[in-house]
Amino acid sequence: MKQLSICRPDDWHLHLRDGKMLAAVIDDTSRHFGRAIIMPNLIPPVVTGADAAAYRDRILSCLNPEHHFTPLMTLYLTETTQLHDVADAAKRGLVHAVKLYPAGATTNSASGVRDLEKVMPVLEMMASIGLPLCVHGEVTDPKVDIFDRELVFIETVLDPLRRRIPELRVVLEHVTTSDGVDYVKNGGKTIAATITTHHLFINRNHILAGGIRPHYYCLPVAKRESHRRALVRAAVSGDQSFFLGTDSAPHLDTAKLMACGCAGIYTSPNTMSCLAHIFEGESALDRLEGFTSLHGPAFYQLPINKERVTLVKQSEPVIYPKSRATPDGELTIFDCGFPLFWAVKS
């Protein structure tokens, strides 16, 4: 196959940041994607409907008028989140999900939830109106090994929560383990998972073997090769429970290349080329559209994008820049470690 036409894809987990960084990176998403679930972990976080409306306006003000892109806003769940504010924002179509960050789990998560009991009324209301909960699925107990934090979260937090509120629709974001994949596969219609671009390519050796490679450091951290293979199998399976959420997370190189560097990988520019490479290698190009364009809208109960994009396989590799220039410095783009031959022709 040398050419593939698919419905315009969506990104169901995206960081756009704010200010100058937002302006520098928005085109890399809006060029290829029709919609994206926008993460709310700004400083200060997006915690109210008013915050979400203002952030959406800032995103739209930076948008290339030739790009047809819709930001889907989320709220950052805190222990003081107001139930009526969430309900109103959802009713108005302003927000499409609420994000649960365990406090301290990842970038800008200090305002996250420490005691789940304090947010139960909000979660019960969300279940009643069908508003999805997006979860960063890791515990933050320092006694738990960083490579086990997803599994322990599923066992001690997520599964008990879903048993308590079975109607709650949950997205286990950036799943990284075979345990997470199995849990979602067997979890019924109220749970789904996003899979990132980079977790389909890298395992923990890419970060640590032969020297520390900070541009491959992310949270949740990449796991063993057996887990990476489980993610690939899930992505190419055609199972509607799994869909693309890049978790593309721009950080300046100066913030990555330091003694305590930031977690995050910037994949928006080359994600579609990367995914075509993976799916072709698994003889599953016919399932790429489902993963990128169909399964996510089905779970979020949104229409499929009417526009289409075409991917063309070139005889020579697609050349992506190594970094993006921003007013404050360079931003490194994900290097998947392979030449990419599939180019997006919108």
CATH number at residue 145: 3.20.20.140
Is 25 within 8 Å of 308 (Cβ atoms)? no
Q: Which residues of 80-91 are buried (b: 16+ CB within 10 A; e: fewer)?
A: ebeeebbbebbe
Contacts of 163 (CB under 8 A, 6+ apart): none
Q: Which two tokens stand for residue 232?
A: 């690939």
Chain centre to alpha carbon of residue 178: 18
* pLDDT tens, residue by residue, 58-109: 999 999 999 999 999 999 999 999 999 999 999 999 999 999 998 766 665 6
Amino acid, res. 282: E
Q: Which residue has the tokens 């067997």?
A: 186
Is 231 within 8 Å of 282 (Cβ atoms)? no
Whether 247 is catalytic is yes
Residues of the chain with pLDDT under 70: 104-110
Number of domains in the chain: 1
Residue 102, pLDDT score: 85
Domain residues for 264?
3-345
Looking at 11, 51, 179, 247, which residue is catalytic? 247
Q: 236 phi and psi, to 5 degrees?
A: -90, 0
pTM assigned to the model: 0.97
Residue 105, pLDDT score: 64
Residue 109, pLDDT score: 64
* pLDDT tens, residue by residue, 36-63: 999 999 999 999 999 999 999 999 999 9
Residue 111, pLDDT score: 74
Residue 1, pLDDT score: 84
- What does DSSP assign to residue 254? H
